[in-house]
Amino acid sequence: MLKTTPFHTRTSALVRAQTWRRWAGYQMASAYDPHPDREYAAIRNSAALIDVSPLYKYRITGRDAMRLLDRTITRDMTKLKPGQVYYTPWCDGEGKVVDDGTVTRLDETSYRLTSADSSLRWLHLNAAGMEVRIEDISERAGALSLQGPLSRTILTTVSPADLTALKYFRYVDTTIRDIPVGLSRTGYTGDLGYEIWVDAERAVALWDALMEAGKPYGLTPAGVWALDIARIEAGLIMMDIDYFSSHHALTEQRKSSPYEINLGWAVSAGKGPFNGRRALAAERIRGAAWNFVGLEIEWDSFERLFTAQGLPPQIPNVAWRTSVPLYDAGRQIGYATSGCWSPLLKKSLALAHLRTPYAVPGTSVGIEITVEHQRRRASATVSKLPFFDPERKKA
Amino acid sequence: MSEPVAGAAKSPSYDAVVIGAGANGLVAATRLAQSGLRVLLLERSDALGGQGAIVEFAPGFRAAPLGIDPGWIPPAVARGLGLESLAGDPAEASLSVAIAPGSFLTLSRDAGRAAEAIKVHSASDAAKWPAFTGLLHRLAGFLGALYQTPAPDVGLASAADLPALLGLALKYRALGRQEMIEFLRTLPLSVWDLLDDAFESAPLKAAVAPGGIQDYRQGPRSGGTGYVLLHHLVGAPAGMVRGRLPWRGGPGAFTDAAEAAARRAGVTIRTGAAVTRITVHDDAATGVVLSNGEEITAGAILSTADPSRTLLDWVDPVWLDPEFMHAVGNIRYRGCTAVVLYALDTLPEFPGLESRDALAGLISLTPSVRALEKAADAAKYGEVSEHPHVEISVPTLRTAALADNGKHVMIARVQYAPYRLRDGAAWDAARREALADRVTAAIEAVSPGFGARVKHRVALSPRDLEERFGLREGAPTQGELGLDQILFMRPVAGWGRHATPIRGLYLGGAGAHPGPGILGGAGWLAASRLLADRRGGSKGA
Amino acid sequence: MTPRYDAIVVGGGHNGLVTAAYLARAGKKTLVLERRDLVGGAAVTEEVFPGFKFSVFSYVVSLLRPEIIRDLDLPRHGLQILPLESTVTPLDNGDYLAGWADPDETRRELCRHSPRDADASAVFGRLMHHMAMAVRPILGMVPPDPTSLSPGDLVGLLKLGGHFRSLGAERFHALHKLMTMSSADYLDEWFEFGPLKATKSASGIIGTFLGPRSPGSAYVLLHHYMGELDGAFRAWGFQKGGTGGISESIAGAARAHGVTIRTGAAVERVIVRNNRATGVVLEGGEEISAKIVISGLDPRLTFTKLVESRELPADLVEAVRRFKFRGSSGKVNLALAGLPNFTCMPGEGPHLRGAISISPSVEYLERAYDDAKYGEFSRHPYMDIVIPSMIDPNMAPPGKHVMSVFVQYAPYDLNGGWTDAKREAFGDAVIDTVSRYAPNLKSLILHRQVLTPLDIERMTGLSEGNIFQGELALQQLFFLRPLPQWSNYRTPIEGYWQCGAGTHPGGGIMGASGRLAAMEILRSGS
């Protein structure tokens, strides 16, 4: 039996097309509607409610909690203030990314780490010789992501928190209709949005409260498919899709440093010792061999491939997650790892690993497209990430 | 990578601090000082010598509790420190085993004489004995060659290692085809199978087997005890199957000579100086902090304490890779040896023992390999053997000065007394004395009236050995001699060459290659590594 | 006079059949001689009780080399491996530990006992994957002799050295640990939940005379993962119709290539003239000539029964004497009127289609070993139980079942020797122990067959009942298996070869020894 999240009794009733998938051992909705477009549209137009409970969550407390996190992640923990959230990767000793996630400083001495993969063993290995308590609260806590332009408006009707004061990547303990929750202004959509953390026992009540409050504002439950399109538009990477955790990679070539997956900004060069510090310092001097970029597929070259076969261009309504080779003339220079048709930008987008010399915005590369059982190439242009970055995200 | 080092402008008080003044520490410090370094040698106890230290355990009675086997000085160490004159006592160093009350088998170092004694039990075994001891001697000899260089490592070997590797390969080939195979076959073998394949006589097997389990929490049936047997024979003269010759000048001779060499070389020695921390800056060791809070800066640190204490207790974990710490944390120590020291008015009688000279050698009271295995079983479950394996020796027969007025000292080494007891039970005085009572009873069984001659008795449990000698889990090995913890796997895989992930921090104790009983072996190699790194600039690992 | 055959294979076990099939495939006129009335050796299916079929000895397949399956096209000859998907360990507190086919389900189950172990298990699995990758080429090579200076051996050694270097330091070191440690110590570095460690370490002791705390027991842990690595072939599971079906499929492939197989033909000795094998003499006196003779029997029989010791160098005879067999396992086969009801998982369920492992703790296994060390069978043995009729309904009459209980330890050298009474006492100890976890078992038993190592020796010929034709201990592996200098499938007698599990890599229904022997024979131009 797969696990189900604390919201399962509510979400399962809404999955009309039985479109289920696995996410970290949980049974999750790919989409609620038979056709997922409406769910995506809600993220960009009104608000969407997404069950993100399968994220792994850890509560870290104790004398050395800050030291543990500081030696683990690449950002400088000494600068994280109470009520602040970091998005950060963390590395192994060779400076290869193990996972990425968020660290929230809940109060002076306690922290919450979220991660894509289970991190208990890694945290304990890192905590050797330290006085720290690591609690896996993954199953005790439910998590909902409320994303979209109207998300703040909806929350205002149910929460006493001063939401105008809650800035981007900030956190506050508050209530929603008297249900104690943790509220962070974070998300995986690149839009205005919040993530809400709740005790599993109160999860269903929270769902109901939000759905009811959101009704007048078009709040729509959204599944993983819609989320996937939004996160590609936002240029956000996904572990084991866009990069392999160094703990999962079967070969050295499959591992990536933060610099190679566009997370160099999250490596704090001047901070104290942390995993991979030496290797990353060396890489900074050497320069990363690979870069992670956005690609916009050039429409005309794309359409021509279909026209040649007497077909209209085919655009999937869900994101793809297969590795696709990229070329400069005849030579392979990289690979795209996920992509989608952006219903908002009206462009075909991809996230890609490119050898550094090609990673300059504006560079034109060839991307493999299979049309009518034949491998062809379309042109694509290297683009800065994110593809979509509305002002409301941080406003 | 070079980032500015805060405080680098201030020159350190010493070029090198060596931690621990046992054999390895004395040798390492001397080697470093001879190369022109300003060296400080720190010893936590008040006496030098580490495991070879002599203690006065009762008024007028002295002994080196862990010194039954004095160990072996590799030739380079002897030459380097000018210890060539430190000779083993050529007097008979026999090995005896109690077969039953009133009956002993005594194996002389002289293979011919030993064969005579064996003949009583088995003529065919007697005929095989000289060849068997010769083979052990040659196999241990090759191991000795391996112990004088950094351990070759297929995983890490670089072109620079080739000459040393070729040298070893030639020595290996020199064994001849048959013995090359025997060498490879013997390492993973159990000493039980090794002896079963060779001999039929139970007392003979019982005499040899304990060499395979010395300080090892395994029984003679366990694979790898063949290697342990060979390890303890490295440097032993031909014909000996347990341990090495005692020093002519008594158990303290090595420490005295090594201390003199260290002082000649200009080493500053401080006793009663316990390290509590190694300071690190920018991935490099910068000094040590003592228990009184005193900070001493140094260009390099060479620790002869065990790897876990050095790396896990003394270094801030943020400087170490989590997987590396995990590997260090997994080092198995598993002390299982206890020692009982007896102060005797007069020499006890051992009816059936061929001469009292045998008491100056080693006498095992375990009559069969099976009994040895049974003794080991308890330790697997965290229990003390009901019938422990006991080996005794009377050092005062060689070195009368160890006791006043012609009195005697007997050392009994006891296995198995696991450091970690079942359900977390403690090694309290009651448990320790209960074990000592069992030992006294075992001796009494072959030496009627023994108990009555005992003036004082001091028992040292693994817990006591840990406290007194600074040995983690009371293990004289600083890491048990399993096949996964030797050579290039010692102390942990990938770090078999005395350096650590912290620049300027070196491991040179028994926990490093070549391990325990090789006097100054690890210290010498670690010092060589330190000097090479200084010459070539600090390259880390 | 020209010999009647190009090659005679003595012994129709699975390795002998593999060798014969490969030789015939290369055009050699090949005869297989099997003492029993059916081929397969220790891989046979027999209807021991009317209507109840048993894989009498070996009962699961995990390591059958994929290249053999491909080369001999075994599925066409009846190879059909059915999934054996779970392992359930009943615990003494009434709970259980389960490993399921689905990784998410397994993870969830592990989390119930230890979340850290669930994490560690994933990392461990990947390491084992790498280790299995590292070992796989070694299973497929003729061991070079590190003491030889012959060009062939030196090239082999360089290849091997190159292989180890290509692994990188980290994996080479991990492999070294796996080869030298005890399974209990090895698993202690990874896991904290006792029954998990016990169940995993149990695979390290199967067929050996080692306890889980004995150094050298860790590397057999790999075997399980080797099977997974070749998972695409579904080589891990239960052969339709029982293990004999595998032997039959190889025999079928061999016959299709022209091999003659004679059963009920016991070879008395190999004829040696002028240090050259020229044929065999059957019990009853029939002589059959051949250019070469290949023994699929174990090293003791190969070197001391089939030929005269005086034909061989003295050091080789001595080395054979030192070669350790020490059969340590027994088998209890039960015909059941219904399904056992395990207290920890009452009723019918998926667990009955997998293995039930009686391995509640490492100490339990170690104490079972202690009994055997001193010449007794384990009072509470380690057991690996499967109910083949749940996987393949053809194994038992409808509604009835067969249960296979692999038992360890049962020493060949039992104090006072094995007698009928002791065999039954051993059987009782097994049933009593299983009944602690499945109390209705006794009431279901229609028939029982108890096999001690002595029975295994008598029935299959395996010396001392060792199911691997010789202990899989480090000093008997690779270029030391079976004997130093003779790990290349040859013997000092020209034209006399070995192909049994007593040669590298040996052990389990793998077929690798048989295949490597055939390749070496063909390469030598014999």
Greater confidence, C151 or A380? A380
Beta partners for residue C298, in sequence order: none
C306 Rama sector, left if φ>0, alpha if ψ -120 to 50, beta otherwise: alpha
Q: What is the DSSP string of A135-193?
A: EE-TTTEEEEEEESTTHHHHHHHH--S-TTT--TTBEEEEEETTEEEEEES--SSSSSE
Give the pLDDT confidence score for residue B1 in this predicted structure: 36
Residue with tokens 């009983």: B517
State the DSSP code for C302: I
Q: Compute the distance between CA of residue C315 and CA of residue C309 in angstroms, rounded to an integer.
A: 11
Give the pLDDT confidence score for residue C169 in this predicted structure: 85
Query: What distances in angstroms separate CA C502 from CA A245, B295, B313, C473, one per listed residue?
Result: 42, 63, 48, 12
Please determine, for residue C154, whether its predicted confidence score (pLDDT) is greater than 60: yes
> Nearest residue of A to residue B1 by CA position?
A282
| Digit-coded pLDDT (tens) for B53-70 | 999 999 999 999 998 899
Chain C residues within an 8 Å CB radius of B386? none
> Nearest residue of B to residue A282 by CA position?
B1
Give the pLDDT confidence score for residue B2 in this predicted structure: 38
Please determine, for residue C26, whether its predicted confidence score (pLDDT) is greater than 90: yes
C362-398: string of b/e by CB count within 10 Å (b at 16+)? Answer: bbbbbbbbbbbbeebbbebbbbbbbbbbbbbeebbbe
Query: Residue C158: which pLDDT band, with cuts at 50, 70 and 90?
Result: confident
C90-105: string of b/e by CB count within 10 Å (b at 16+)? Answer: bbeeeebbbbbeeebb
Q: Compute the distance between CA of residue A330 and CA of residue A332 in angstroms, rounded to an integer.
A: 7
Q: Maximum Cα–Cα distance for chain B, whole Å?
A: 75
A25, A136, A247: residue with CB nearest C108: A25
Give the pLDDT confidence score for residue B158 in this predicted structure: 66
| Digit-coded pLDDT (tens) for B204-235 | 999 999 999 999 999 999 999 999 999 999 99
Q: Compute the distance between CA of residue A309 and CA of residue B424 in angstroms, rounded to an integer.
A: 76
Chain C residues within an 8 Å CB radius of B155? 164-165, 167-170, 172-173
What mean pLDDT do residues C278-307 have? Answer: 97
The pLDDT mean for chain B works out to 93
Secondary-structure breakdown of chain B: helix, strand, coil percentages, each rounded to the nearest 5: 40, 20, 40
Please determine, for residue B238, whether its predicted confidence score (pLDDT) is greater than 60: yes
What mean pLDDT do residues C470-488 have? Answer: 91
Give the pLDDT confidence score for residue B15 in this predicted structure: 98
| Digit-coded pLDDT (tens) for B270-323 | 999 999 999 999 999 999 999 999 999 999 999 999 999 999 999 999 999 999
Chain C residues within an 8 Å CB radius of B493? 169-170, 173-174, 176-177
Please determine, for residue C186, whether its predicted confidence score (pLDDT) is greater than 60: yes
Greater confidence, B480 or C158? B480
Share of chain A above pLDDT 70, in %: 100
Please determine, for residue B8, whether its predicted confidence score (pLDDT) is greater than 50: no
Q: Residue A2: is it exposed, middle or buried by C-beta count within 10 angstroms (0-12/13-18/19+)?
A: middle
Nearest to B485 by CA among C176, C214, C221, C210: C176
Task: Compute the nearest-CA separation of B23 from chain C (Å).
Answer: 29
Chain C residues within an 8 Å CB radius of B381? 363, 366
What mean pLDDT do residues B502-511 have? Answer: 98
Q: Residue B79: is it exposed, middle or buried by C-beta count within 10 angstroms (0-12/13-18/19+)?
A: exposed
Residue A115, both tokens: 């991660």
Q: Compute the distance between CA of residue A198 and CA of residue B358 in angstroms, rounded to an integer.
A: 77
Q: Which value does ipTM take for this structure?
A: 0.94
What mean pLDDT do residues C518-523 have? Answer: 97
Residue C56, both tokens: 């009498």
Task: Compute the nearest-CA separation of B216 from chain C (Å).
Answer: 12
What mean pLDDT do residues B85-93 have? Answer: 81
Give the pLDDT confidence score for residue C294 in this predicted structure: 98
| Digit-coded pLDDT (tens) for C431-460 | 999 999 999 999 999 999 999 999 999 999
What mean pLDDT do residues A113-131 have? Answer: 97
| Digit-coded pLDDT (tens) for C98-134 | 999 899 999 999 999 999 999 999 999 888 888 888 8
Give the pLDDT confidence score for residue C153 in this predicted structure: 82
Q: Do C119 and A25 touch (CB under 8 A)?
A: no
With contact defined as 3+ CB pairs under 8 Å, the chains touching A are B, C
Chain A residues within an 8 Å CB radius of C126? 247-248, 250
Q: Residue A336: is it exposed, middle or buried by C-beta count within 10 angstroms (0-12/13-18/19+)?
A: buried
Q: Phi first, then psi: what are they for B504, rounded to 5°? A: 80, 5
> Nearest residue of C to residue B218 by CA position?
C214
Which region among B279-288, B439-448, C81-90, C179-188 has the lowest average model confidence (pLDDT)? C81-90
Please determine, for residue B162, whether its predicted confidence score (pLDDT) is greater than 80: no
Interface A-C, measured as beta-carbon pairs within 8 A, has a size of 33
What mean pLDDT do residues B349-378 have? Answer: 95
| Digit-coded pLDDT (tens) for C218-245 | 987 887 677 665 554 445 689 999 999 9
Please determine, for residue B7, whether its predicted confidence score (pLDDT) is greater than 60: no
Give the pLDDT confidence score for residue C234 in this predicted structure: 46
Q: Do B188 and C473 touch (CB under 8 A)?
A: yes
The answer to whether A119 faces chain C, any CB pair under 8 Å, is yes
With contact defined as 3+ CB pairs under 8 Å, the chains touching C are A, B
Reported in sequence order, the residue ranges of C81-186 that DSSP labels E, i.e. its strands, are 81-83, 87-90, 96-99
Share of chain B above pLDDT 90, in %: 87
Give the pLDDT confidence score for residue C526 in this predicted structure: 73
Establish whether the linkage from the previous residue to A89 is cis, with ω within 30° of 0: no
Please determine, for residue B384, whether its predicted confidence score (pLDDT) is greater than 70: yes
From the DSSP assignment, how many helices (H) and strands (E) are in chain A?
A: 9, 19
The pLDDT mean for chain C works out to 93
Q: Do B318 and A273 touch (CB under 8 A)?
A: yes
Beta partners for residue C448, in sequence order: C334
Q: Do B484 and C214 touch (CB under 8 A)?
A: no
**Other C-beta atoms lying within 10 Å of the C-beta of residue B537:** 6
Residue with tokens 């395994």: B218
| Digit-coded pLDDT (tens) for A132-171 | 999 999 999 999 999 999 999 999 999 999 999 999 999 9
Give the pLDDT confidence score for residue C230 in this predicted structure: 58
Greater confidence, C462 or B155? C462
State the DSSP code for C351: G
What mean pLDDT do residues A378-387 have? Answer: 97
Give the pLDDT confidence score for residue B223 in this predicted structure: 94
Give the pLDDT confidence score for residue B539 in this predicted structure: 42
Distance from the first to the final alpha carbon of chain A: 43
Please determine, for residue B151, whether its predicted confidence score (pLDDT) is greater than 90: no
Give the pLDDT confidence score for residue B156 in this predicted structure: 63
Please determine, for residue C1, whether its predicted confidence score (pLDDT) is greater than 80: no
> Nearest residue of C to residue A249 by CA position?
C126
* This prediction's pTM: 0.95
| Digit-coded pLDDT (tens) for A225-253 | 999 999 999 999 999 999 999 999 988 99
Q: Compute the distance between CA of residue A47 and CA of residue A56 in angstroms, rounded to an integer.
A: 24
| Digit-coded pLDDT (tens) for C327-368 | 999 999 999 999 999 999 999 999 999 999 999 999 999 999
